[in-house]
Structure 1
Amino acid sequence: MSAWKGTIIRAVVAACLVSLVVSVGLVITYRLADNQKEDYYRVRKIQVETAAAAVDYRDIEALKGTSNDIGTPAYEKLLDQLTRIKRSDPHIRFVYFMRPQDGEMIYLVNAEEPASHDYTSPGEVHEGATPEDFLVFEGKKPAIAEMEEKVTNKSGTWITANAFVLDKVGKPIALLGTDVDTDRALSSFEDIKHVGLLFNTLGAALLALVSLQWILWSHGNKKRKILRQEMEESLVKLNTELKEANKIKLDFIQLASHELRGPVNAVNIAIQTAEKVLAPKLDDEERLLMEVARSGSSRLIDLLNNLLDITRLEAGDFAFKPEDVDVCDLVNRTVGLYEPLAEKKGLCLSAEMPKGELGAFVDPHSILRVLENLVGNAIKFTRSGSILVSAVEDDGDLRFEVKDTGPGIPVEFEDEVFEKFARYVYPGEHATQKGSGMGLALCKGLVEVQGGRIWFETVEGKGTTFFFEVPRYQETECDEAGDKG
């Protein structure tokens, strides 16, 4: 090989290495700038989310969304909060509260001085609002902080960070927005790119060192890829094995529950028949033993039914079949079913329903299962007083309530109420009232798989109210969704 030829080859190799180094450097530079940008966005979202969490939702609710709000205590308090937010970060240009009203997105409070040409008065419509801006308030998007890049309006081009003020039940009622001038916000990221280009130029001059570094980096990168691939394959295998094990467990529980239900029902019927036939011949102790046997068999049937339904829900085999029903009839049927048991304990069980029919297209079996569990629990744990069952239509949903005057739920147990096998033994007179700990878990599963939610409010020593909501008109595919889980 001639010297020229070798020189040319070395020059070509060096040129290729320089090009590679420059390319890698550019990628790293832009990625670093992008990471810095993402970090900046994350900080902005945390700032605005923290600020929104500090807002008293009652102040927002007190505003009418008109110029008459100016000077009111709620308006002045919110204005002071916005002013402090603006002063806390010199990059923030605008900060404001908005909310939807009469189909428009309107301003509630703006931190701008009234004399400024950028000032927006309460009730002024935000002209740049899009249909997506209303999705959070309509419950179609989660109420989480978000960033919007390069939002252009009459005042310029901005990077906007939005968070939502939530009421006591977690429903978004207002938007807190902060705007930063695009050029000011992105200038530091452009500086990072310029510095990166300078270092790329210096790196090209240190060809040998950069080449060696690149070789070592490639070797390490290849090892990382192999290791990551092995880890991913192991995770996939482990996940598959866990799914298979869980399916075997659910199949076993479902089979066992199904096979046990027949014999247990037969035992329960036999006990009830024996109790009726032998009642005149039994003394007090024998009657007590018979009642214990009947109560135990009934509890076992309830346990098997709940266990079977929960495993079907978890396995995706619970079929929902919506049909046209009268919700008033479902509530009245539940009250009628449990009225004798309530009267036996000296409790007043009643229903409160709107006048006339309350039509809906839902699965009556699942609604009745939830109502029966809630009413049964209320009777079980209420020593004296009353239990009220009601249902109303609320913005396209059905909201059911079961209110009792029982002992309430202790604070330390509130987070565990809807967990499987969670039970709380009340001291004293309520210590004997034990359940399987599966009824409320089943209620939660039945409600959530229909796209609803269940919650409760309680005052210890005074009573508890359980609420659950489901769509009033469910699609006919609801049973297919239930099958798929």
Structure 2
Amino acid sequence: MDVSKKLLIVIFTMFALLTVLLIIAAHTILLSSYYDLETRDTIKNTEKIEQAIAWEALSIDRTARDWGFWDDTYKFVDTLSPEYIESNLDDSTLYDLDLNVMLFINKSGVLVYPMSVDLVNMTNVPVPEGLLKQIDSGTLTTRENTDQIQGIILLDEGPMLIVARPILTSFGEDPSAGTLILGKYIDNFYISSLEERTQTSLSFYTINEEMPSDFQEVFDEAASNDGSAVKILGSDRVAGYFMLRNTTGEPVALMRADYPRDLYAQGKNTLGYIYVFLLLSGLVIGTATKFSLDSLLVSRLITIDGFLENVKREKDISKRLEVEGEDEIHRLSKGINEMLSSIRLAEQELKAREYEKKFILDSLEEMVVLRDPNFKILWANRAALNNKDLLMDGAESPAADSPEAPDTDNIPKSRNLPAPDCEDHELTSSEGKTWLIRSKPVCDEIGNRIAVLETGVEITERKNYEIELFRAKQEAEVANRAKSAFLANMSHELRTPLNSIIGFSDLLYEKVYGELNPKQTRYVGNISNSGKHLLNLINEILDLSKVEAGSFELHYSAFWMAEVFAEVRDMTFPFATSKGLKIELEIESNLPRIYADKERILQVLTNLVTNAIKFSSENGSIRVKAAQMDSFLKITVADDGIGIAAADHEKLFKPFSQIDSSSSKKYQGTGLGLALVKKIVQLHGGTVWFESEAGRGSIFGFSIPLPGRNE
């Protein structure tokens, strides 16, 4: 598809979208405005009907006030004078007042004179029972001179508009003599007369009746607000609703007024004219824009496209493009001419660099081979061609631009072709030399492999060195295992006589075989202590030998860390007390049970605490803490002793190693304790660490997995 057709599609698509957006905006804004105007007009007309009913109530209230403030009425409630009845309460009174009921109630709340008629059938009827019940309950009787009761009450005969006024003298100074109640039914006759006066179709439902769905929906909504609402009943009708309330202000009925949707219909017609105008405007403007762009832009672009096609077909970059004008397209033509000149210069530079690349790669002693994704050779330098038996290729012949193309026709194929993604592999040439071949994929911008680059380096000497190193390592491992076996055997041989020495010396020290003098007791105690120290040393050597020989076993069980802390405290308390040291134990609350080798964890913690006591100054303190960190148990032993210089940190945890000779003389030991600590913790799957500075004390710690990691 050419530019002209694309431009036509783009222009008319843009104008179509713009027109649609304008139509949607106009439709939304104007219809919303017409709807708001229609709603306000409906509310205004509905308020007129509501006002008509309010005027009706006001008229009845005015009548009640005229009769209730009459001195003769004030006397009549007490006397029931026949003259008052004959002159004022004849059969035509209610018809003249357009009322259904007139009730006189004395100050005791007793109905003394009732009047009730049917205005439609022009007959006298009994006072409604529902009205009498409300009078008996006192809800329609006034108590103060200023009281006024007005509203709709629901009776079995229908809803009635009620007004009640206190019966007072003309001056209103004396106490009320009772209550005057006037009422008028809101029946079909009244609704019809209201429709004639307002020229509106009205519907009326009370809460005692089954309301239509729209009435029920509006009633539920309007009951919680001001009691009015507007609802669309269809494309040609809109309704306004207002609530009627009883004497206590509670909603009891809902009236609806229906109106034609003339404003809305007029708005839709206006929108139709706007839509037609927008569509015609879009077509005219789009067509004019298309022809203008064709003459100013498209024809000149076609000229440029034809020139480029001609250059591509003839492969002649010496041609030049001529376009008239002083605009962007003219500058584009100048840029094309400059680009063609740059391409010509780039071709010359590329040929020169290609020659330099071939010269440099051929001078290398390393092999360099470039292959396609199918592992066929595209290019190889001279070192690679001199070792044809190492080249692995699936092609019958190399690429034509190879520097030694005629000599690579007989390159042998490999029986073990490596995968293109392999990194390193070793090959041995027919001359017995070992080469390290490294393969690296060459990818384009989107990650697709377009070639594989191979480089080869001779590693014959390094390979021989690695073989000798491996043999030396094997010999060292054999010697180490022999050493471990020797130490284990020697430890077992030494433990048997040491147990006898320690046992008999303890018996002598405890004077089982008789009394000893003080010097003999001291010497026997020294024998026992030295034997126990030597036995402990042999046990550590034996444990370390087992670890190195791979025969060290752990016996797992579940236990509380507090038990281990208590044993460590009891074992190290005499040693700490002799130096005036305090051992502070802190175990985190809610710490779970530990699943590990209890005896070995006790050994680790005892070694760390003993080590801290040994290197602490007198009257100091040792702080031992246990806390949970993620899924590990973290235990730290801190002291305020001599500390360890940074230069001596690497000597820690090494067997038979202490800080220096002077320290070795002052603080006795073999250096096996920390080495064994590290081995035992590592066998549990944990780690050991320390923090220390010379003269600032030390912190040794270790962590082991909690049960969730071991089980």
Name the counterpart of 1:272: 506
Matching of residue 402 in structure 1 with residue 603 in structure 2? no
Quote the Cα distance in structure 2 between the aligned partners of 1:270 and 1:396: 48
Query: Per-residue deviation at 1:389?
Result: 1.7
Percent identity of the aligned residues?
A: 28
Question: What amino acid maps onto 1:246 in structure 2?
Answer: N
Quote the Cα distance in structure 2 between the aligned partners of 1:395 and 1:439: 28
Name the counterpart of 2:573: 339
Q: Secondary structure at the match of 1:318?
A: coil
Quote the Cα distance in structure 1 between the aligned partners of 2:366 and 2:473: 39
Query: Per-residue deviation at 1:233?
Result: 6.2
Name the counterpart of 2:433: 221
Name the counterpart of 2:212: none
Quote the Cα distance in structure 2 between the aligned partners of 1:238 and 1:350: 50
Query: Per-residue deviation at 1:358?
Result: 3.4
Residue deviations 1:403-423, cap 9 Å, x none?
Answer: 122211233322101111111
Query: Per-residue deviation at 1:292?
Result: 3.8
1:351-370 matched pairs, under 5 angstroms: 351-355=585-589, 358-370=592-604
Task: Check conservation: 1:322, 1:475, Cα contact below 8 A.
Answer: no
Quote the Cα distance in structure 2 between the aligned partners of 1:400 and 1:267: 37
Q: Kindly tell me: are residues 375 and 200 of structure 1, through their superposed partners in 2, closer, same or farther at Cα, counting changes over 3 Å?
A: farther
Question: Structure 1 runs of 4+ off > 6 angstroms?
Answer: 222-233, 474-477
Matching of residue 388 in structure 1 with residue 619 in structure 2? no
1:427-466 matched pairs, under 5 angstroms: 431-466=665-700
Q: Secondary structure at the match of 1:392?
A: strand
Task: Check conservation: 2:501, 2:531, Cα contact below 8 A.
Answer: yes
Name the counterpart of 1:186: none
Name the counterpart of 1:79: none
Query: Per-residue deviation at 1:476?
Result: 6.3
Query: Per-residue deviation at 1:393?
Result: 1.0
Task: Check conservation: 1:402, 1:466, Cα contact below 8 A.
Answer: yes
Matching of residue 413 in structure 1 with residue 648 in structure 2? yes
Residue deviations 1:242-295, cap 9 Å, x none?
Answer: 3332222211111111221222122122223322329974346x5554444333
Residue deviations 1:179-214, cap 9 Å, x none?
Answer: xxxxxxxxxxxxxxxxxx989622125679x99xxx
Quote the Cα distance in structure 2 between the aligned partners of 1:226 and 1:342: 62
Query: Per-residue deviation at 1:426?
Result: 8.1
Q: Secondary structure at the match of 2:433?
A: helix
Query: Per-residue deviation at 1:344?
Result: 2.6
Task: Check conservation: 2:495, 2:538, Cα contact below 8 A.
Answer: yes
Q: Kindly tell me: are residues 226 and 358 of structure 1, through their superposed partners in 2, closer, same or farther at Cα, counting changes over 3 Å?
A: closer
Matching of residue 377 in structure 1 with residue 578 in structure 2? no
Name the counterpart of 2:258: none
Quote the Cα distance in structure 2 between the aligned partners of 1:373 and 1:221: 55
Question: What amino acid maps onto 1:377 in structure 2?
Answer: N
Q: What is the number of equivalent residue pairs in this alignment?
A: 282
Residue deviations 1:159-185, cap 9 Å, x none?
Answer: xxxxxxxxxxxxxxxxxxxxxxxxxxx
- The one of 466, 477, 487 aligned to 1:253: 487
1:88-99 matched pairs, under 5 angstroms: none
In the superposition, the TM-score normalised over structure 1's length comes to 0.51
Task: Check conservation: 2:645, 2:694, Cα contact below 8 A.
Answer: yes
Quote the Cα distance in structure 2 between the aligned partners of 1:447 and 1:333: 19
After alignment, is 217-226 or 336-345 more displaced?
Answer: 217-226
Matching of residue 203 in structure 1 with residue 396 in structure 2? no
After alignment, is 198-207 or 359-368 more displaced?
Answer: 198-207
Name the counterpart of 1:49: none
Question: What amino acid maps onto 1:424 in structure 2?
Answer: I
Query: Per-residue deviation at 1:395?
Result: 0.7
Output the aligned Cα RMSD. 3.9
Q: Kindly tell me: are residues 330 and 238 of structure 1, through their superposed partners in 2, closer, same or farther at Cα, counting changes over 3 Å?
A: same
Larger relative contact order, structure 1 or 2 (CA cutoff 8 Å, min sep 6)? 1
- The one of 520, 531, 545 aligned to 1:297: 531
1:26-65 matched pairs, under 5 angstroms: 28-30=368-370
Residue deviations 1:25-57, cap 9 Å, x none?
Answer: 9983349xxxxxxxxxxxxxxxxxxxxxxxxxx
Quote the Cα distance in structure 2 between the aligned partners of 1:356 and 1:228: 58
Quote the Cα distance in structure 2 between the aligned partners of 1:461 and 1:451: 32
Task: Check conservation: 1:328, 1:391, Cα contact below 8 A.
Answer: no
Query: Per-residue deviation at 1:303?
Result: 0.8
Query: Per-residue deviation at 1:354?
Result: 2.3
